[in-house]
Amino acid sequence: MPYLDHAATTPMRPEAIAAMSAQFGDVGNASSLHAAGRRARRVVEESRESIAALLGARPSDVVFTAGGTESDNLAVKGLYWSQVAKDPSRRRLLTSSIEHHALLDPLIWLAQDEGAEVVQAGVDRRGRLDLDALAEQIDLDSGSIAAISVMWANNEVGTVQPLEQVVSLAQRHGIPVHTDAVQAVGQLDVDFSASGVDAMSVSAHKLGGPTGIGAILLGREIEPVPLLHGGGQERDVRSGTLDVPAIVGFAAALDAASRDRIERNARVSALRGALIEGVRSQVPDVVLNGDERLDEAFRLPNNAHFSFPGCEGDALLLLLDAKGIECSTGSACSAGIAQPSHVLLAMGADAASARSSLRFSLGWTSTPEDVAAVVTAIGPAVERAQLAAGVGRQARS
Ligand code: PLP
């Protein structure tokens, strides 16, 4: 089955499955003092050291969570609460208009329920943050800003964000920066310390590990107010018994993804190039969304995102699914109605073209056959989806 939805989740690496399988049979709470507990603790700490080394962090920076959503929630809520506790006038949170809902929705909640003022800086047509708009917001009243959060790379269109510049703007005013690096880790050269960010979200299932485990990396001075209170695990920032097999799987997957990253990116990026060319050859009016510069400085190597004029993305997805091809639409379904993606709207797309979009994301298991299957199926699928959309429009008029 051509699986082209690696950005949603990617198959587990055999190394991660083997490491987890070996661990499942072992008992031990990593907080227990007896031998079994100490054995579990050793496994956790070795995994933590390995993850930290691969991400350019210190082991003590790594706080395990249940994944990207929890890390993002902990970052924005925890940082906001800790800043407001220190200085009640620091209520502004700056972010971009293309963040994942795991970040956007806690921000909206903070604005609605906790007195935060959330400001979203726009992006250009490629989906890259407008740095001037961000700088303007910082200069407006830097003393009122609790934190800045800008993702490392976008999950829909794959655009890599100018994080270095964001950090340098923020550092001038001593404002903490968080980044959602969920799509970047495993694909890009992510170095936590070198990046200068204060907090970073990571998720294991996007890089070949299991779902339900991830981490937030926290710099020395960063102490978010916890979301979970209890046993005081993970620097008292994230209580809860540690999931030892999942942590081992996370470490093994990150190790595997780091080892073959350069070779894999070259292969995946070549396949992505063939996919773009193939789709263009079958559907001449297709629009490639995101950065047309396919270099990984600008765009994730696995991402191809298109709008198909005259189609509904959902219909197209189901037509491809019927041919065994699995991909994703850019739109979210709300009450049975496809909502255009906020990311594409922020990039200047109109609602119809945003709704006509599909994301193909490749990964470590992708093959030339997967690409060939899409190229074969896409022309007839687009014709049928256009027909269906035309019929739908006629019926409504
Ligand atoms: N942030 C980004 C950019 C993502 O792509 C995702 C997953 O789609 C998440 C956060 C949420 O991560 P998780 O599935 O681990 O909760």
Ligand 1 test: best mutation among 105, 154, 155, most atoms within 8 Å of CB? 155
Name the nearest CA neighbour of 353 among 305, 387, 301: 305
* Per-10-residue mean pLDDT, the chain, length 397: 96 98 97 98 98 98 98 98 97 98 98 98 98 96 96 98 98 97 98 98 98 97 96 97 98 98 98 98 98 97 98 96 93 66 97 96 98 98 93 62
69 C-beta closer than 6 A to ligand 1: yes
Residues with catalytic annotation? 333
Q: What is the pLDDT of residues 43-87, one digit of tens each?
A: 999 999 999 999 999 999 999 999 999 999 999 999 999 999 999
14: Cβ–Cβ under 8 A, 6 or more apart, which residues? Answer: none
Nearest residue by C-alpha to atom 12 in ligand 1? 68
112: Cβ–Cβ under 8 A, 6 or more apart, which residues? Answer: none
User: Structure pTM?
Assistant: 0.97
Quote the mean pLDDT of the chain.
Answer: 96
Name the nearest CA neighbour of 253 among 215, 213, 208: 208
Distance CA 200, CA 184 (A): 11
Q: Are 180 and 99 in contact (CB under 8 A)?
A: yes
Nearest residue by C-alpha to atom 8 in ligand 1? 8
User: What is the SS3 assignment for 26-43?
Assistant: CCCCCCCCCHHHHHHHHH
- Left, alpha or beta for 101 (phi > 0: left; psi -120 to 50: alpha)? alpha
Ligand 1 test: best mutation among 6, 71, 101, 183, most atoms within 8 Å of CB? 183
* Total residues found in the chain within this entry: 397
Distance CA 119, CA 175 (A): 15
Distance CA 365, CA 13 (A): 10
Tokens of 236: 């008292």
Domains of the chain in sequence order: 14-258 (3.40.640.10), 261-396 (3.90.1150.10)
Nearest residue by C-alpha to atom 10 in ligand 1? 68
